[in-house]
Amino acid sequence: MRLRLQMRPFRLLLRAPLRTAHGRQAAVEGLLLLLRDSEGWVGLGEVTPLPDFGTESLEAAVRALGTVRLPDSLDGFPGGLGFSVQAHAPATRAGVEMALLDLLARRRGVALATLLGSPSVGPVPVNALLRGETAAEAVREARGAVASGFRTLKLKVGSASADEDADRLGAVREAVGPAIRLRADANGAWTEAEARVRLQGLLALGLEYVEQPVPAADIAGLRRLRTLLPVAADEALGLEGAPAALLDGEQGPAADVLVLKLCVVGGVIEALQLAARARARGVDTVVTGVMDGAVGRAAAGHLALALGGDRAHGLATGALLAEDPGAHPVVAGALQLKDVPGLGVPPEALGW
C-alpha cells in the first residue's frame, strides 16, 4: 500500500477576538492534511500548533512534515501505526496520525470512535465557553447557553482583576443555579500565593474545577492548590516529562483532571494511553480543542467518546469561528458526531 500526503495551510477568523491570560486571539492558523492510498481511500488530518502550550510553531510544523515517514501498511493497528516524524513536533505528529486513523477507519467502514473501542457513536457533551468581559455580558451568554441545552459553562479568568473575575463567576452562578457545572480557566496566570487568595473567594461557587491556576512549570503549587478545590492541568501537559510529574509524585497526583489537547500530547493514541494511566491514579480527563477546525474537533470528539465518562468536553469552539466548513454541529449542548466511517468530515467540504 502506497500512501501520499498532501498539505494545505488554512486560516480561520474568529467572530470576535477571544481574551485569555495569554492575550487576544483573532484567528486560527494551521495545516490541513489529505492522505490518499493506492486504492483511492483518503484520510483527513489537521495540524494546529499551539506554541504557548509547548508545541512546535507553524513554520516548524511545515518543516516537520517534510521528515514524515509513512508506513507501508496499517495492519499493525491497534499495536501501532508505524509512522515517524523526525523532530519534536507533537502537533504535526497528531495531524499525521489523525489522517492515518481516518483513512484506516474509512477502509474498515467504521467510525473512528468505534475503531478506538467506543461501544456507540453519538452526541458528545460539551461545555459552553462564555466570552463576556463584564458580569452582565457573561450572565446573558450563560442564560442563552443553558436555554439551548448546555449543562457545563466555562469562563476565562486571570486577565482581569480579582474582583472582576469574582463578579463574573458569582453573577453566572446566581443566574444559572447550582445544577449547572461551572469551570474557570486561568491559563497559568497566577502565582501560587495569588491563586490561593483568589480561589478562597470562589469556594462558595461550587466550581467543577479551576483549570491551570498557576504556571505550567509549578507542578508542586498545583498539587498544593488541589487541597483547596479541584484543579485541572492543561498547559502543564506541554512540559517534558509531564505525565510522570503530574501523576507519579510521592505526594500523589498534582491534579484532579488532565485536559487533553491532541496537538500537545501528540495524538489520539498517546491521549488514550495517558488517560488510562491517569485513570489508574484516580485522575479524570477531558478533551479540548485549541480553537481548531472541523477535522481536529471531530478527532477530539471521537477520542472523547472512546474515553467515556460524564464530564463535558471543550469542543464547542466552532461557534466562535466566522466560518467552520465541514463541522459537526453542536445541538443541545452536545457535539453531534455521525456514525459514519472515519471522522465523518467529507473532504469535499474542505475543498479537497
Catalytic residue among 154, 198, 261, 297: 261
43 and 102 Cβ atoms separated by less than 8 Å: yes
Q: Is 136 found in the same domain as 76?
A: no
CA distance 58 to 28: 11
Q: Which amino acid is at 318?
A: G
DSSP letter assigned to residue 36 = E
Produce one character per residue of 58-83: b if its CB has 16 or more CB atoms within 10 Å, e if not.
bebbbebbeebebbeebeebeeebeb
pLDDT given at position 20:
64
Give me the domain span that covers residue 23: 3-109
CA distance 206 to 179: 10
250-283: pLDDT as tens digits: 899 999 999 999 999 999 999 999 999 999 999 9
Q: Which amino acid is at 21?
A: A
**What average pLDDT score do residues 176-195 get?**
97
pTM confidence score:
0.95
pLDDT given at position 314:
97
**What average pLDDT score do residues 194-202 get?**
96
Pairing of strands 123-125, 42-47: unpaired
Q: Is 133 found in the same domain as 57?
A: no
CA distance 204 to 325: 41
% of residues, the chain, pLDDT over 90:
88
215-230: pLDDT as tens digits: 999 999 999 999 999 9
Q: Is 52 found in the same domain as 30?
A: yes
Is there a domain that residue 115 lies in?
Answer: no
The side-by-side arrangement of strands in the sheet containing 23-37 is 3-20, 23-37, 42-47
Domain limit, last residue, from 75, 109, 143: 109
Query: Which secondary structure element, helix H or strand E, spans residue 170, and what is its range?
Result: helix 162-176
Say if residue 178 is exposed, middle or buried (CB neighbours under 10 Å; 0-12, 13-18, 19+).
exposed
CA distance 60 to 49: 9
Q: Is 166 found in the same domain as 27?
A: no
Q: Is 154 found in the same domain as 90?
A: no
pLDDT given at position 17:
76
Q: Is 50 found in the same domain as 104?
A: yes
Question: How far is C-alpha 103 from the chain's CA centre?
Answer: 22
Residue 156 annotated in active site: yes
Q: Is 163 found in the same domain as 93?
A: no
pLDDT given at position 75:
87
Q: By three-state DSSP, how is residue 284 classified?
A: strand
pLDDT given at position 16:
79
Q: Is 344 left (phi over 0), alpha (psi -120 to 50) or beta?
A: left
DSSP assignment of 234-266:
SGGGGSTTHHHHHH--TT--S-SEEEE-HHHHT
Q: Is 315 found in the same domain as 205?
A: yes
Domain limit, last residue, from 61, 86, 109: 109
What is the total count of domains within the chain?
2
Catalytic residue among 106, 154, 156, 181: 156
pLDDT given at position 64:
97
Q: Predicted confidence band at 28 (pLDDT cuts at 50, 70, 90)?
A: confident
Q: Is 324 found in the same domain as 215?
A: yes
Q: Predicted confidence band at 10 (pLDDT cuts at 50, 70, 90)?
A: very high
Domain limit, last residue, from 59, 74, 109: 109
Q: What is the mean pLDDT of the chain?
A: 95
CATH code: domain of residue 93: 3.30.390.10
Cell of 297: 474537533
Q: Is 142 found in the same domain as 65?
A: no
325-352: pLDDT as tens digits: 999 999 999 999 999 999 999 999 999 9
The answer on pLDDT for 21 being more than 70 is: no
Residue 154 annotated in active site: no
